[in-house]
Each structure stands twice: as structure tokens, then as C-alpha cells.
Amino acid sequence: MRRTVVAALCVMLVLPPSACAAGPPASAHSPTAAKPSAGPTPAATSAPASPPTSAPASARSASASAPGRHPTSRVSPHTGLTPDPRNRFYTDDKSWYASPWYSGRHRIMVEYGCTPAPYYDPDPRCPDRHGFHHGVDIAMPCGTPILSGVRGRIIRPKSPGAPGPAYGSTAFRIRTPAGRDVLVGHARRVFVRPGDVVRRGELIALAGSRGAPDGCHLHLEVRRRGGGVAEAVNPMRLAALRT
Ligand SMILES: [Zn+2]
């Protein structure tokens, strides 16, 4: 099944060349890897450096009182998928970022740290009764391929630091050799299981909105090994976003 999904995504050119070239996602449960049915093409290897579209004048940056809506509803040239109109942006950052963690270029929706987004309880660290967001939210069309940006092992959902329901029922964690737990939240579909070893660039999930009030996105959170939400650290270095 996974091979079929990856092959289809490669044919659709929604996966980066590295994912297609690497073949189907490997795991402890799928030791035999089949050749991909389609390799990278020039179209897939030449991602434009500019954002997929310029925001219309009516699009406004987010603020506490007037969260920004998605700047466009047209199909993304990077993924062939339609942006989720439920997305709300609580940041002034309008850059479109690529990352080892997903296909295409997407915008930050909620940054790590104090945020005006209304989904979080007031935090004593934050002014104006703002809450604290323990990861970074990247808005993306539902179904966008999520790739592993690290090498690591999928750990058991109920092991110490188990994510709560706010991350969605499909939330999972990747434990890196350096002793970090990387939490991926809200996925629509997950292609890995506890015990699987994942490589960088491997397809691990499809973006979704499970447990999320503001549409499909990737919630990426980094914690100390076995740590809970209170031990989350700034994920931006690991997210490796680039314009
Ligand atoms: Zn989040």
C-alpha cells in the first residue's frame, strides 16, 4: 500500500526528488524496497524560488483580533493541492518556506512561543494573556506529503511524554540519535508504526487537521527525550525552513 502511495505521489510530482529517488518509505516492517515507478524529472527538480503566488491586496497579515486567512485558494503549483480555507495565520511572516519536512513551499501559521492565537491558555511567560505554542504550525493543503527531516525511530504512543488529544489521534514521535523527540501532529494519514526506523526524506504522513481547529497543517514540536509538552524547545533549527 505504501509503495502504491509513494509511486502515485511521485507520478503526481508532489514529492521532492529525494523521496522519489529513494523509493518507497523503508521501515522495519518493509525490508524489501521496490523500485519507484517514476523518477525525478526536470519539472520536479526545478522548484521556483519565488512564492507560488503573490498575496492579493485584500489579504491581511494576522493579528490577535483579525487572523489572516489564506492569501489564495488556487491550486498550489508545488503540490497540485488546494489550500485549506480554514487556515488562520497568527504571524506577520508571509514567507513561503521549503523544508526537509514536507513537499512544496508553505507559510507559517502559528510560530513557536507566545502567540495571539486563541487556542492556548494564557501563559505567565507571555504578555496580554497570550498563550504559548510549543511547536511551529506550517499551513498546507490537506494531503500534503510530510517527510521525515531526521533519521530516527518511531516510539510507542503511550511511552513517557505521550502527546495529548490536542495533537490529534494520529500524532506520533520520532526519536533521534541525538536524544530528541520530534512530534508530528494533526496528520490525516500516517505511514509509520512504532518501532519503524525512518530516514531523512522518507514519506511518513499526509497533512491533515485531526484535532486542529484551524485547518490542515503540520505541527512540528521538539522535546527532550521522553519529555512532555513542558519540555518542548524551539523547533526552528530542526524545521530547517528556507525561503
Ligand atoms: Zn501547533
CA of residue 218 to ligand 1 center, whole Å: 7
CA of residue 44 to ligand 1 center, whole Å: 29
CA of residue 210 to ligand 1 center, whole Å: 11
Number of structural domains, the chain?
A: 1
CA of residue 202 to ligand 1 center, whole Å: 22
Structural domain includes residue 194: yes
Q: Which range marks the domain in which residue 168 is found?
A: 67-239
CA of residue 121 to ligand 1 center, whole Å: 13
CA of residue 136 to ligand 1 center, whole Å: 6
Structural domain includes residue 27: no
Structural domain includes residue 116: yes
Residue 241 has what pLDDT?
A: 98
CA of residue 135 to ligand 1 center, whole Å: 5
Structural domain includes residue 59: no
CA of residue 234 to ligand 1 center, whole Å: 12
Structural domain includes residue 86: yes
Which among 27, 14, 19, 16 has a CA at the least distance from the CA of 76? 14
Q: How far apart are CA 239 and CA 222, in angstroms?
A: 9
CA of residue 137 to ligand 1 center, whole Å: 5
Burial of 177 (0-12, 13-18, 19+ CB in 10 A): exposed
Structural domain includes residue 159: yes
| pLDDT digits 0-9 by tens, 69-127 | 555 556 776 677 899 999 999 999 999 999 999 999 999 999 999 999 998 999 999 99
Residue 202 has what pLDDT?
A: 98
CA of residue 221 to ligand 1 center, whole Å: 8
CA distances for 66 relative to 36, 117, 132, angstroms = 45, 10, 19
**In this structure, what CATH number is given to the domain that contains residue 142?**
2.70.70.10
Q: How confident is the model at residue 129 (pLDDT cuts 50, 70, 90)?
A: very high
Between 188 and 37, the more confident residue is 188
CA of residue 85 to ligand 1 center, whole Å: 17
| pLDDT digits 0-9 by tens, 30-62 | 333 333 333 333 333 333 334 443 333 333 333
Residue 205 has what pLDDT?
A: 98
CA of residue 217 to ligand 1 center, whole Å: 8
Residue 80 has what pLDDT?
A: 77
